[in-house]
Amino acid sequence: MTIHPVILCGGSGTRLWPLSRGDYPKQFLCLAGERTLVQQTALRLRDIEHMAAPVVIANNDQRFLIAEQLREADIKPAAIVLEPVGRNTAPAIAVAALIALEKSRDALLLVLPSDHAIRNDAAFAAAVEAAARVAADRYLVTFGIAPTEPNTGYGYIRRGKSLGYEVPAWQVDAFVEKPDGQTAQALLADGSYHWNSGMFMLEASTFMEELRLHQPQVAEQATLSLKLSRMDHDFLRLDEAAFAVCPSISVDYAVMEKTDRAAVITATDLGWSDIGSWSALAELAPADDAGNAALGDVLLDNVSNSYVRAEHRLVAAIGVEDLVIVETADAVLVTHRDKTQDVRNVVEYLKKSKRSESVTHPRVVRPWGSYERVDDGARFQVKRIVVNPGAQLSLQMHHHRAEHWIVVRGTALVTNGDQEILLSENQSTYIPLGVTHRLANPGRIPLELIEVQSGAYLGEDDIVRFEDTYGRTVS
């Protein structure tokens, strides 16, 4: 029986601000190893038997980011499905189930969040095998994690009677929302509760039957959005009108809390974490004798039980304890380790204040590469631009700004009005306001250049596109 993995990439990771942001959330970051979390999720599946290529569910804005990270990890997905609007996990899983059913009527779905950490891949493979055995008997299986502390950041599952398998599997008796501290302590002491990992093994046909029973509108609109979907390069775009009508609802609320076929297995020794806060991430990092985890250019003097991360410059801490300190190019977070769940409050404030730090980093990823703001002021802005080998920007023009380009590494093929010129290191060109232009990298190494913009308005929306390799809107 083939297992069809489904990787959900829609999380925002606000509690890991300022590293995780709306346009570049935690699943695309290297937080617990040399690979990003989404790459680790996909690579973890490679050595498990009967595993098909993954179906990846992502949003439109991050389509090139997920495609590039999968390419870097040499992962060839069965499909990258683009949600036109966010509708939580139930509609996304429904679409994946329908795709799997097109290939096999007895397909199993392994549903995985893309932003979790698992340190024991062998234990994960064993848990997948156990869950598949139970799901093959038409149970909808969730992976329960044996709790080790009264954690208030996780939901809980109360197990009911044993299902009689050789593997530890029970009927689900109840789902419990994230508790307060006193309740979490009582659940831990009870001994019959698991943490809810958000991972599932579901027979696709059984899941769709239960979804049609308990949330028929979700099933109907997911089916219609897939039927009316279209391919766009490497992406499967769900129909926006049909998908937007779907209720926004999690799989727990839509099916798992209502069905009488919900089961839970105990996934042991996974080394699992949803990395839901900086304190959770700190627990995964190697610590010194004083309990400190220091990453990057960090200097500590008389510091204990702290997590200090420097991304761009030296960070020095003296005489403090129980802190999380995270430095990025444009923001610094300092919080007590017991208050890291409250980072979301900072993000909400930034959103209400319409500050860009809640959404974007100074370095912005594009399908052709990236750019990073270096300096700006009245009527000017300086960027560092990196164009991937073989990539090119759109053919475009600007109404309100002129641009100077200086190549510092690699080779640039520049379209400047009616001219096409080749620039190498230390050479430059000038793009007057209103002139049609394009930048391309014909070489085998990344092209790096400095762009100096000058003009009355320097916003990113001052772009008129005439041609685009990546299917973005043209005028």
Q: What is the pLDDT of residues 39-86, one digit of tens each?
A: 999 999 998 999 999 999 999 888 989 999 999 999 999 999 999 999
Write the DSSP symbol of residue 253. Answer: I
Count the neighbouring beta carbons within 10 Å of the beta carbon of residue 441: 24
Average pLDDT of the chain is 94
Radius of gyration of the chain (CA): 25
Instruction: Give the CATH superfamily of 3-273.
Output: Spore Coat Polysaccharide Biosynthesis Protein SpsA; Chain A (3.90.550.10)
Mean pLDDT of 26-36: 93
Query: Please, where in the chain does CATH 2.60.120.10 lie?
Result: 363-467
Rounded distance between C-alpha atoms, residue 278 and residue 285, angstroms = 11
Task: Label residue 418 by pLDDT band (50, 70, 90).
Answer: very high
Backbone angles phi, psi at 459, to 5 degrees: -70, 155
Reading across the β-sheet that carries 293-295, which strands appear in turn? 293-295, 307-310, 323-327, 332-336
Strands (E), 205-289: 230-232, 235-237, 262-266, 272-273
Report whether 456 contacts 398 (CB < 8 A).
no
Q: What is each CA distance from 230 to 84, 234, 413, in whole angstroms?
A: 12, 11, 33
Rounded distance between C-alpha atoms, residue 96 and residue 140, angstroms = 15
Contacts of 86 (CB under 8 A, 6+ apart): 10, 59, 248
Residue 10 has what pLDDT?
Answer: 83
H helix or E strand, kind and range, residue 65: helix 63-72
Mean pLDDT of 370-387: 94
Residue 424, classified by CB atoms within 10 Å of its CB into exposed (0-12), middle (13-18) or buried (19+), is: exposed
Query: Please, where in the chain does CATH 3.90.550.10 lie?
Result: 3-273
Q: What is each CA distance from 353 to 28, 68, 164, 181, 346, in whole angstroms?
A: 26, 32, 55, 32, 11
Structure tokens at 266: 């105990």
pLDDT of 261 higher than 90: yes
Rounded distance between C-alpha atoms, residue 135 and residue 204, angstroms = 10
pLDDT of 15 higher than 70: yes
Mean pLDDT of 443-455: 97
Q: For 354-364, b where at least 16 C-beta lie within 10 A, e where not — what string?
A: eeebbebbbee
Residue 152 has what pLDDT?
Answer: 86
Look at residue 88 and give its three-state secondary structure.
coil
Q: Is 167 left (phi over 0), alpha (psi -120 to 50) or beta?
A: beta
pLDDT digits (tens, 9 = 90+) for 241-256: 999 999 999 999 999 9
Residue 156 has what pLDDT?
Answer: 95
Long-range contacts of 427-433 (CB under 8 A, 24+ apart): 428/404, 429/404, 429/405, 430/402, 430/403, 430/404, 430/405, 431/402, 431/403, 431/404, 431/405, 432/402, 433/398, 433/399, 433/400, 433/401, 433/402
Distance of CA 3 to the CA centre of its chain: 22
Rounded (10°) angle between helices 89-101 and 216-227? 60
pLDDT of 305 higher than 70: yes
Backbone angles phi, psi at 39, to 5 degrees: -65, -45
pTM (two decimals): 0.90
pLDDT of 369 higher than 90: yes
pLDDT of 398 higher than 80: yes
pLDDT of 233 higher than 90: no
Residue 12 has what pLDDT?
Answer: 78
| Number of Cα atoms under 13 Å in the Cβ half of residue 77 | 30
Place of tokens 């997920």: 66
pLDDT of 313 higher than 80: yes
Task: Label residue 475 by pLDDT band (50, 70, 90).
Answer: low
In this prediction, what percent of the chain has a pLDDT beyond 90? 87
Report whether 100 contacts 203 (CB < 8 A).
no
Look at residue 444 and give its three-state secondary structure.
coil
CATH number of 363-467: 2.60.120.10
Structure tokens at 380: 């000017």
Rounded distance between C-alpha atoms, residue 170 and residue 193, angstroms = 11
Rounded distance between C-alpha atoms, residue 127 and residue 200, angstroms = 11
Nearest to 221 by CA among 240, 237, 235, 242: 242
pLDDT of 153 higher than 70: yes
Q: For 8-22, b where at least 16 C-beta lie within 10 A, e where not — what string?
A: bbbbbbbbbbbbbbb
